[in-house]
Structure 1
Amino acid sequence: MPGRNPVPSLINDRYEVGETIGRGGMATVHLGRDRRLGRRVAIKVLRPELARDDTFHERFKREAQSVAALNHHSIVSVYDTGEILAGTDEGVDRPFIVMEYVPGRTLRELIHENTVTPREAVDITLGILDALEYSHRAGIVHRDIKPANVIVTPERQIKVMDFGIARAVEDTSPALTQAQAVLGTAQYLSPEQARGESVDARSDLYSAACVLFELLTGRAPFVGGSSVDIAAQHVRDRPPAPSELDPRLGGRVDDFLAKALAKDRSARFQDAGQMRRALRELRPAVPGDLDATQPLDAVRARDEDTKTLPPVPVPAAAVSGPPTAEGTAVAAAPVAVDARDSGSAPARRRRRSPLRSALLGLLVLAVLAVLGVVALQWFQDQRSGPALVAVPYVAGMDASVAETVLRNAELVPQREEVFDDEVPEGDVVGTDPAADTQLEEGSTVVLGVSRGPSEVEVPDDLVGRSEEDVREALESAGLAPAEATRSVNSSWVPQGMLVATDPAGGTTVRSGSEVQLVLSSGQVTVPQVVGLSRQEAVAVLGADAARLSAEVVTTPRAGVRAGQVLGQSVDAGQSVPQGSTITLTVAVAPEPQPVPVPTSSPAPSPSPEETAEPEEDDVETEEPSEEPAEDAQAGDDEEDRPEAAEQADERDREAAEQADERDREAAERARDDE
């Protein structure tokens, strides 16, 4: 029934089908809802007029399989796939793919609406390259990178979709051009894809460069009246420099795109990571705004759908030839002109003798015979000789995927681990022989697999050597000695010599890492010895950490243990030259003070009156007094004190002499150790 939507409102009793949100050359995309998980999805359904072709069924299946293996923030995810059974007006089964719903707008819409600034164009391309780097490492080549297959979310996040004509790298053979046809979008085809040749990751990079060219200038590198004509231009013509279309873009942009759009893929960026790094370096040179991109009228009207095109039969030698009406180049054939041709043909025939004509005929037959023999011999040699195959381009792929690619090309991979500062560990750095080299089937190809950045060990025998010697040793080890040095105190390393490195000697670091030199200042940090005994202080100063000499002076101090260090001539934490002498102040017991001895005077004789006995009425009874006894005891203590003081002084002198003896012995042992 005309006008009826051939897609049912419910698919597989699970997916509700809503409004159409996108149309392409081979499918329509509907907004949907997953009843089971309660989330919004996008449902891509093959157009009915193409559903009868088994080739397109296979493409839909391949797209689901390709994207299912990719889980990346810049690639639209595929959730499910299936077929709408033949119950529609068209009477044909139609495959569908349930994808992640990404709110936003396609890059094609943004270009046509003049809303992309040059700086944003660079950021968008970086997002595309991020997705391509991931898919290429997984062994998937997209083969249809174009603005319509890139979604920009409101948060300016980039999402690449539509892997419908993607293939695994090992399957990117000329068989992709089925029935002498090329699948793709003319404005963004790589030259090798337009010619129907095998493609690899560098073909996607060419297409991404076409997208960047259009974002910066407002038009694709090549425009024309038909898709065939545009495809032919990719093969034979040089693209215009961006600065020719807008001088404000500058020469650095021209150089970048000239390399990215090179006809020979070996002259392009060799992987997405390399192109992304170069684009990051280019970003500061791109103007912030050129009033945004403004596409030409011819660009707006062009057909940007993915379609089947005839391969462009342009030989390499005819790349510079003029285009024909069909978009192919035709090499001009040289024409020889004989001066005798000015006469009439009948007259020339009359002048030619029969003998001469016979000889000429025999000569022609002889030449043809020789050529036939040579051609037959060459053909037999070719048939009997070994078959030649080209080494596939596998740089940047996972090593296991690359080995599969080489085996499928009838070559024998042989792994060889190499250090590389840029290629992640486990990915392929390159091959030996290089990509595109012709080899006999069964030949061995060395596969260089990255071990990550090379690592070296910081030498551990540099302490005590001069700065010049240390720098030479570090450079010989593949390290970079820092220009600036720092100094620290050391008890034994001479001034200006190396004390340590940072990182320390024996540490394994990345090749080319910077190493800082720590040199001796020729000074020593004085330790804290106040409060220690004389013997302990001398030992601390003479230890390896300080290697300082001690000079002792004593001072009497009451209330302090004899032999205790009361002070040091240089405060702790201060710096002194190596081998300096520190004066220690040590306490000794003070000299005893003499105790005065009291002298008693004779008592006066009593008078007769005092000796007379008192009368009975004058006698008073008094309690016995303890004072005489106490006075007597005090007198005894005063008599004993000088003797006790002398004994204490004697003990202090003996202790000081013993301490001096121990200090002398410790100093002698320290000198013996040195």
Structure 2
Amino acid sequence: MSTEPRVLAGRYRVDELIGHGGMAKVYRGYDLTLGRAVAVKILDPDLARDTAFRNRFRLEAQAASRMAHPSIVRVFDAGDPSSNDPSSDDPPYIVMELISGTLLKDIIAQGPVPVDDAVRYVDGILEALDYSHRAGVVHRDIKPGNVMVTEKGQVKVMDFGIARAVSDSSSTVAETTQIIGTAAYFSPEQAKGEPVDARADLYSTGVVLYELLTGRQPFRGESPVAVAYQHVSETPVPPTEVNEDAPGALDPIVLRALAKDPYQRFPDAAHFRSALDSALTGAAPTRKQVGALTSELYGPSPRQAQETARSLRQLSTDTTMARTQSGPPVAWIWAGVALLAVLLASVLFWVVTISMRPSEVPSSSRVVPDLVNVSSERAQDDLAKLDLTSTIVIESSSEIAEGNVIRTDPEAGVAVEERTAVTLYVSSGEDVVVVPQLEGMALTDAKKALLDAGLQLGTVVQRNDKATKADTVMTASQAADAEVPPGTVVDLVVASGKVTLTDLTGWTVDAASTNLTDLGLTPTPVEAADCPATKPATVHSMSVAPGDVPIGSPVELRFCTGP
């Protein structure tokens, strides 16, 4: 017995299941309005019962839909049936671009990945992150299961935005893990439940790069909490010590990406990509150089030891993890021993550092203050009070208000000499472009105008209109002179150059002629002597079949004149 296919919003037909995760199921679908195949992601019904989660899911899906980039899976639409019908139990859904390819996690599962392919995959992820971070969107769940490699080898990153809803709705590592599915790619700040920014995505990308080079993740454990603890406190082994075939030039890249302190990682995705490119063409570092970098990034300090202890207490109080033995878990006993070892090493390192410090610290030393999101005027004043000079560089930013500092060079916390010049990168506000006047333009001219303006052509829909020449733009989804972010997708409605001809058989010749003239067609009455005449004369047949026909087409109206 066949069942009617499920249709969402009267438009999206839901077909067979093609994938599922911890928070949603993905179905192959079909857009009945635009006539194209799509992927439909439907939120898990249990999560959909949380009204706050539904709202975050909807808002983040809308944010993701505004991103248009070749390395990001497009989000076409999103809906929440409860917004129109509060009594509806149907969960929210997201309509996405349907991609044909292979998940990166399945590629990794097949065996070792060639270095060139590994770097290409990570470069594609970073390209997508560079775009999304500049758009103000942090992914929060970068992992091989959210990366698709198409049949042509292009990288596509999925699930932008919805991971933020997971992060906002989950208070513990275990709860977040239950939804996302794994803690193996968490950044330390995510594991500690702290606020995260774009550098958390770079850490997760570093874990993916590590796995591509070695065939395993840098940190593994019997439970998500044990893995999260390692992300917070353990030093990763360089990839070449796990896989001797991995290029040594990538060891510093991976170690930098996996730094516990976000400020010691790459400042953004563009710098990460640049370092990858340079590493492939440069010489491999010596073991001593790698060791020095490891000490710099992961060496103990009193502050780090305090943070480790606090993180361990936070993780150990997570009561959502199921106990598997009656007494204290063996893993936590060893974790306590490891913590004590870290604390002792930290105290020893601090004592040795104090003993080696010169008796007099030069008074000319200054520490660059944290000036992010501070007005440029106040930032200059604060630097002047420290006897530091400043220079200003203007950059666009979607996250920092106009006139405020985006970042500094050197960064906050760096010790410098007095009169050192500190570069202040000041926000000019979000970068926008102006939508050109498109209505009335030929389609080819409209495409060029969009390209010149830094915008992207979206869906082109044909519409019949007797008064408009074929391929002339009738309407656009963005109003002329509107200010929008670069890369915004603009949908167009263009004239088809056709009109719809109805069946005029049985009409009087005069009425049929008037109808054709109103449609912009040319009526031509033709006598047919092989059938009996009628009064008044009525159309016996037409030379053109009913349907869409070009404007101005001649149409013969045959009427009977026989005895």
Matched, 1:316 2:307: yes
> Conserved in 2, the CA contact under 8 Å of 1:222 and 1:234?
yes
**Partner SS for 1:248:** coil
Q: Does residue 246 of structure 1 match 2:243?
A: yes
CA distance in 2, matches of 1:276, 1:12: 41
Q: 1:449 aligns with which of 401, 406, 426?
A: 426
Taking the aligned partners of 2:380 and 2:58, their CA distance within structure 1 comes to: 33
Q: 2:77 aligns with which of 54, 75, 80?
A: 80
User: What CA distance in whole angstroms lies between the structure 1 residues aligned with 2:159 and 2:424?
Assistant: 31
Measure the CA separation in 2 of the matches of 1:245 and 1:179. 32
1:38 alignment partner, one of 35, 39, 48: 35
Q: 1:20 touches 1:29 (CA, 8 Å); kept in 2? A: yes
Partner of 2:20: 23
Q: 1:286 to 1:129 in 2, by over 3 A?
A: farther
Q: Any idea what SS the aligned residue of 1:44 has?
A: strand
Q: Specify whether residues 63 and 247 from structure 1 end up closer, same or farther in structure 2 by C-alpha distance, changes over 3 A only.
A: same
3-state DSSP of counterpart to 1:229: helix
Cα offset, 1:69, TM superposition = 2.7
With normalisation by structure 1, the TM-score equals 0.44
For 2:282 and 2:115, the matched residues in 1 are separated by: 10
Q: Which amino acid aligns with 2:29?
A: G
Choose which of 26, 35, 60 in structure 1 pairs with 2:57: 60
Q: Which of 5, 10, 13 is matched with 1:13 structurally?
A: 10
2:408 to 431, 439, 450: 431
Distance 1:285 1:153, change over 3 A: farther
Which residue identity is paired with 2:407? G
Q: Which of 93, 106, 109 does residue 109 from structure 1 map onto?
A: 106
Deviation per residue, 1:178-207 (Å, 9 max, x gap):
378763540100011110111111111000
SS at match of 1:80: strand
**Aligned in 2, Cα 1:72/1:430: closer, same or farther, shift over 3 Å?**
same
Matches within 5 A, 1:92-491: 92-114=89-111, 116-167=113-164, 178=171, 183=176, 185-284=182-281, 315-316=306-307, 318=309, 325=330, 329-330=335-336, 331-332=339-340, 391=370, 418=392, 430-431=407-408, 434-435=411-412, 447-449=424-426
CA contact (8 A) 1:14 1:34 kept: yes
CA distance in 1, matches of 2:311, 2:89: 47
Between the aligned partners of 1:53 and 1:253, the Cα distance in structure 2 is 44
> 2-side partners of 1:140 and 1:149: how far apart?
16
Q: Deviations over 1:519-558 (max 9, x none)?
A: xxxxxxxxxxxxxxxxxxxxxxxxxxxxxxxxxxxxxxxx
Give the secondary-structure state (helix, strand or coil) at the position aligned to 1:119: helix
Separation in structure 2 between the aligned mates of residue 286 and residue 140 of structure 1, nearest angstrom: 35
CA positional deviation for 1:93: 2.6
Looking at structure 2, the residues matched to 151 and 116 of structure 1 have their Cα atoms a distance apart, in angstroms, of 15
Secondary structure of 2:80's counterpart equals strand
CA distance in 1, matches of 2:162, 2:312: 31
Read off the aligned partner of 1:126 and give its amino acid letter.
Answer: D
Distance 1:85 1:205 in 2: 36
1:42 partner amino acid: A
Deviation at residue 130 of structure 1 after TM alignment:
0.5
Separation of aligned partners in 2, 1:250 and 1:181: 35
Moved over 3 A (4+): 164-168, 174-185, 284-287, 317-334, 390-393, 411-420, 423-429, 431-437
Q: Is the 8 A contact 1:249 1:286 kept in 2?
A: no
CA contact 2:393–2:424 (8 Å) conserved in 1: no
- Is the radius of gyration larger for structure 1 or structure 2? 1
Q: CA deviation at 1:255?
A: 1.5
The structural deviation recorded for 1:224 is 1.2
- Counterpart amino acid of 2:228? A
For 2:525, the equivalent position in structure 1 comes to none
Question: Relative to structure 2, which stretch is displaced further, 90-99 or 76-85?
Answer: 90-99
Change in CA separation of 1:265 and 1:9 when aligned onto 2, cut-off 3 Å: same
Alpha-carbon distance change, 432 to 247 in structure 1, aligned in 2, over 3 angstroms: closer
Structure 2 gap ranges (5+): 285-303, 317-328, 343-368, 382-389, 415-421, 429-563
For 1:282 and 1:212, the matched residues in 2 are separated by 14
Over the residues paired in the alignment, what is the CA RMSD in angstroms?
4.5
Secondary structure of the residue aligned to 1:188 is: coil
Question: How far apart in 1 are the matches of 2:219 and 2:108?
Answer: 16
Q: CA deviation at 1:280?
A: 1.1
Task: State the distance in 1 between where 2:270 and 2:427 align.
Answer: 15
Corresponding residue of 1:477: none
Task: Output the amino acid matched with 1:213.
Answer: Y
**Residues of 1 paired with 2:89 and 2:397: CA distance?**
49
**What SS does the corresponding residue of 2:92 show, helix, strand or coil?**
strand
* Structure-2 change in CA distance of 1:432 and 1:268 (3 Å): closer
Which one-letter code corresponds to 1:316 in the other structure? Answer: E
Give the direction of change, closer, same or farther, for the CA distance of 1:176–1:236 in structure 2 (3 Å limit): farther
Aligned mates of 1:180, 1:156 — CA distance in 2: 34
**Cα separation, 1, equivalents of 2:192 and 2:24:** 26
Work out whether residues 173 and 191 of structure 2, in 8 Å CA contact, stay in contact via their aligned partners in 1.
Answer: no
Secondary structure, counterpart of 1:187 in structure 2: coil
In 2, Cα distance between the equivalents of 1:123 and 1:167? 26
Classify 1:33/1:317 alpha carbon distance in 2 versus 1 (closer, same or farther; 3 Å). Answer: closer
Query: What amino acid maps onto 1:178 in structure 2?
Result: S
TM-score by length of 2: 0.52
Maintained 8 Å contact 1:418/1:450: no
Q: Distance in 1 between matches of 2:43 and 2:426?
A: 41
Residue type of the alignment partner of 1:22: G
Cα separation, 2, equivalents of 1:132 and 1:277: 14
Name the aligned partner's letter for residue 430 of structure 1: R
Deviation at 1:243, TM superposition (A): 0.8
CA shift in 2, pair 1:267/1:15, >3 Å = same
Q: Measure how far apart 1:414 and its partner are.
A: 8.2
Amino acid at match of 2:74: S
For 1:486, the equivalent position in structure 2 comes to none
Once residues 276 and 140 of structure 2 are traced to their aligned partners in structure 1, the CA distance between those partners, rounded to angstroms, is 21
Q: Matches of 1:82 and 1:201 in 2, distance apart?
A: 27
Between 1:176-185 and 1:74-83, the stretch displaced more is: 176-185
- 3-state SS of the aligned residue for 1:141? coil
Q: Which deviates further from its counterpart, 64-73 or 322-331?
A: 322-331
Whether the aligned pair in 2 keeps the contact of 1:144 and 1:165 (CA below 8 Å) is no
Q: Is the 8 A contact 2:112 2:212 kept in 1?
A: no
Change in CA separation of 1:268 and 1:85 when aligned onto 2, cut-off 3 Å: closer
Instruction: Give the direction of change, closer, same or farther, for the CA distance of 1:163–1:59 in structure 2 (3 Å limit).
Output: farther
**3-state SS of the aligned residue for 1:240?**
coil
Distance 1:47 1:268, change over 3 A: same
Q: 1:448 to 1:113 in 2, by over 3 A?
A: same
Cα distance in 2 between the residues matched to 1:333 and 1:124: 38
Alpha-carbon separation, structure 2, partners of 1:392 and 1:148: 37
